[in-house]
Chain A
Amino acid sequence: MTTFWDIIHLLTETPIVFVAIIGLTWGILGGALPGISASITMALVLPFTYTMDPAQAIALLACVYIGAEYGGSIPAILIRTPGTNSSAATVIDGYELNRQGRAGDALGISLMSGVVGSLFGLAMLALLTEPLSWLALAFTPASYFGLGILGLSVIASMSGGSLIKGLAAATVGLMISTVGTDPISGVTRFTFDIPDLLGGIEPVLVMVGLFALTELMSQSGSLNMTRLNASIRIRLPSLSLMNKLKRSQFIGCLLGLFEGLTPGGGGSIAAFMSYNEARRWSKTPHLFGKGSEEGIAAPETANNTVASTALIPLLSFGIPSSNSTAVLLGGLLMHGLIPGPRLFEQSAQVIDSIYVGSFIAIIAQIGIGIIILPACIWLVNRPRPYRAGFIFALILSGIYTLNNSLFDLGIALGLGLVGYLMRLTGFPVLPMILGVVLGHMVESSYRRSLVLSGGDHMIFLQDPIALGLLSIALIFIVFSLSREIRDARKAKLEEVHS
C-alpha cells in the first residue's frame, strides 16, 4: 500500500518532476506535428529510456503519451489538421472558433478540458484499475463489433442536414477501409499490385486530406487577406464558462473512461461520441459546428481521459488498447516489468511513478500550454501566402513521416481534391472519416464472430457486452434520426412561412 510519505519521497528524492515535464513537453510537440502520432512520439524516446531507472522510464513514457494526446488538438484548432486521430472531432468547432478570431479561447478551452479529462482519468486509473479490469478480458469479437457499430451510430447526427449524403460519405469511408490485406483470409483487395497499398490507407491520411488540404485549397485565391486573430493571447476559460462546460466535460469523462477500458476503443471513438452526446444534451445544440465551446470541451475531455484510462487494461493484463499503449508495454517489458496484478505488488514504485509523474505532467500542462500556445497562434497568424506555404510544407513532411512513402503523399493530395469536391457538393466529411477509422474493426470483428459461432448471428445477442453496445447504438440512431427529421420539418416550415 502506497503511503503519503512514499509519494513525498518520490517527489523529492527522484527527478520525477523533471522527467514528467520533459516527457510532457516532448509529447505536446510531437502530438502537435501532423503525421507524428502519439505512438511515434513515444517510440522516439523509447531508446533513451533503456538506461534509465525503470520507474522514471515508464513515468516518462506515460507523460509523453499524455502530452501527445493533448498536443494533437493544437493543429486541429489552428490549421484544421488533427495532430492525432483522436483530435479529429476537435477540428469541427475548434477551427470554427479560430476562424472567428478566437483561437486563444479555443486553445484555452481545449487545454483546461484536457486537464479535467486527464485528472479524471488519472483518478480512475488509481482507484479503479483492479475492480474494472475484468472488462478488458470480457471483450470478445462480438463485443468489438458492437463497439464499432456504436461508433458508427453517430453518423446520423453528423450528416449536416442530409442523411443520404452522410450515409453515402460513410459508405465511401468504409470502402476506403477495405483497401489492403483482408483481415481474415489475407487476400489482397483493391491494391492493384501496388505494395504501398498492402497495409491499407492510414486514417490519418484521410483526415489530413479531407480536413487540412481541403481547407488550404478553399483558402487559396480568397481575396480575404486579413489575419485570423487580432490577439495571440491564450485565454483560459473563466469560472462561469467552466461551469457552462461542465456538462460536456462530464460526458467526455464518462465516455473516455468507458472507451479507455475497452481494448480497441481508443480516443477517436470516445471523442466523436462525446461530441455527439454533448450536442444532444446541450442547451445550445444549434451552435455545434459553428464554433461551440462545448463542442471543443467534450471531445478534448474524452480523448485526454482515454490517455489515462487506457492504462487500466494495460497495467492489469498487459492488453494494449492502442499503438501508444503498445509502445508503453514495450517499455515495461524492456525493463523486465510484466504487466498484471503482481506488478502492483512487486513493482509498486513503478506504479507510483506513473501516478505521480502523470499528475505532475497534467498540472504542468497548464503552464507549458500558456508558454507555447501564444507562439503557435503567432505562427498561424503570419501573412497568408507564407502561412499557407509553411502549413502545406508541414503537412506534406508529416505525411511522408508515416511510412517514408511518396505514394502516401499522392493519396493525401488526391483526398484533398475529393474533400474539396465534397465541400462543393455539400457532402459532410466526418461520416467518411468515421467509416475509415472504424471500418476495419467492424468488418474483422463481425467476421471473426461468425467464424466462432459457425455462422450464427445470434452470437451478437448472446454476448451481453455486444448486446448492450448494439442496444445503445440503436437508441442513438433512433434519437438522432427523429431529431434530424424534426429539424428538417422545422426548416421546411420556416422556408414555407418565409
Chain B
Amino acid sequence: MNKDLFSGVALLAIAGTYYLWSTQIADSTLSDEIGAGGLPYVLAIILAILGLLLIGRTLLAMRMQTATAGGDADDRDENARLPRAIGFLLLGAAYVALLPFVGYVIAMAFLIGAVALYEGAPRTWVILAAAVGGGIFYWAIFVKLLGVNQPMGSLFQGLF
C-alpha cells in the first residue's frame, strides 16, 4: 500500500480511537462550559479530516500517476532496516524489564554491552570492559553525584 494512503488510514484509526476514549471522559460539577472533553472532541475531528484529506490527495495523485508508489531507493533501504531498528529498541525494553530486578549498574552494563554487540563490535574483552566501566561511570554520575534514586534491584535488596 502507498505510504501516504497507509498514513491517512492510520490517522483515521487514531482519530477514531481517540474520539471513543474521549467520550469516556467524566463530567465534573467544577467543569466549565467547554468541559474536559471539549478539546479532545475537536482534535479527533480535525485529525479525521486531515486523514481524509491525505487519503483523498494520495488517491488523486495515484490516479494522475504522479505518486511514487514504490518509493525511492532510500525509502526501500529504510524500510528494510525497520526490523533491525525495532530490535535495537527491544534492547531498551529488555533494560527496562531487567532494571527493577538486577539494579541500575548491572542493567546499564547489560545495555551497553548488548548494544555494542548488536551494532557489530568485535567480540573481545573491550566489550566487557566498556559495559562494566560504563555501568559504574553512569552510577557514579547519576546516583553518587546527582543523587538520583536509580533502582538497586530486588535481587540484591538484602545485600545493601
Contacts and interface: CB of A to CB of B under 8 A. Distances in A.
Interface of A: 33, 36, 44, 164-165, 167-168, 171-172, 174-175, 178, 182, 184-190, 213, 216-218, 220-222, 225, 383-386, 388-390, 392-394, 396-397, 400-401, 404, 406, 409-410, 413, 416-417, 420, 423-427, 443, 446-447, 450-451, 455
A185 to B, nearest CB: 4
Contacts of B40: 175, 178, 189-190
Given A44-B147, A221-B85, A455-B33, A171 B46 contact: yes
A190 B21 contact: yes
Given A178-B39, A189-B40, A393-B134, A450 B34 contact: yes
A394 B39 contact: no
B33 A393 contact: no
Contacts of A220: 81, 84-85, 87-88, 118-119
B115 A164 contact: no
- Secondary structure type dominating chain A contacts: helix
B132 interface: no
Nearest to A184: B32
Interface in B119-151: 119-121, 130-131, 134, 138, 141-142, 146-150
B82 to A, nearest CB: 7
B60 interface: no
Contact of A409 (B27, B96, B118, B147): B96
A43 to B, nearest CB: 11
B108 to A, nearest CB: 5
A385 B117 CA distance: 7
Nearest to B14: A172
B65 to A, nearest CB: 13
Contact of B32 (A185, A389, A401, A416): A185
Which range contains the number of B residues in contact with the other chain? 35 or more
Given A167-B50, A390-B134, A406-B100, 15 more contacts: A168-B11, A171-B43, A187-B26, A218-B78, A221-B88, A222-B81, A385-B119, A386-B112, A389-B114, A389-B134, A392-B115, A394-B138, A396-B92, A424-B3, A443-B39
A425 B8 CA distance: 10
B93 interface: yes
Contacts of A423: 78
Given A184-B31, A386-B130, A392-B92, A425 B119 contact: no
Contact of A406 (B26, B85, B99): B99
Nearest to B40: A178
Nearest to B150: A400
Given A184-B31, A392-B111, A393-B134, A383 B121 contact: yes
A172 B10 CA distance: 12
Given A167-B50, A450-B33, A396 B95 contact: yes
A182 B119 contact: no
A189 B120 CA distance: 44
Given A178-B43, A410-B96, A165 B54 contact: yes
Contact of A216 (B6, B38, B43, B88): B88
B2 to A, nearest CB: 10
A424 B78 contact: yes
Interface in B65-84: 75, 78-79, 81-82, 84
Contacts of A188: 26
Contacts of B150: 397, 400
B95 A389 contact: no
A29 to B, nearest CB: 9
A406 to B, nearest CB: 6
Contacts of A225: 120
B23 to A, nearest CB: 11
Interface centre among A167, A392, A425 (most CB of B within 10 A): A392
A172 B148 contact: no
A446 B96 CA distance: 39
Interface centre among A213, A221, A406 (most CB of B within 10 A): A221
Nearest to A214: B85
A137 to B, nearest CB: 25
Nearest to B114: A389
A446 B93 CA distance: 39
Contacts of B142: 397, 401
B7 interface: yes
Nearest to B99: A406
Contact of A187 (B31, B79, B93): B31
A400 B148 contact: yes
Nearest to B78: A424
B34 to A, nearest CB: 5
A189 B36 CA distance: 8
Contacts of A218: 78, 81, 85
A172 B47 contact: yes
Nearest to A40: B146
19 contacts: A187-B27, A187-B36, A188-B26, A190-B21, A217-B89, A218-B81, A220-B81, A383-B121, A385-B115, A385-B120, A386-B130, A388-B119, A392-B112, A393-B112, A406-B96, A406-B100, A413-B96, A423-B78, A446-B34
A450 B108 contact: no
A164 B149 CA distance: 43
Contacts of A406: 96, 99-100
B34 A447 contact: yes
B89 A213 contact: yes
Contacts of B14: 172, 175
Contacts of B155: none
Contacts of B81: 218, 220-222
Nearest to A413: B92
A361 to B, nearest CB: 21
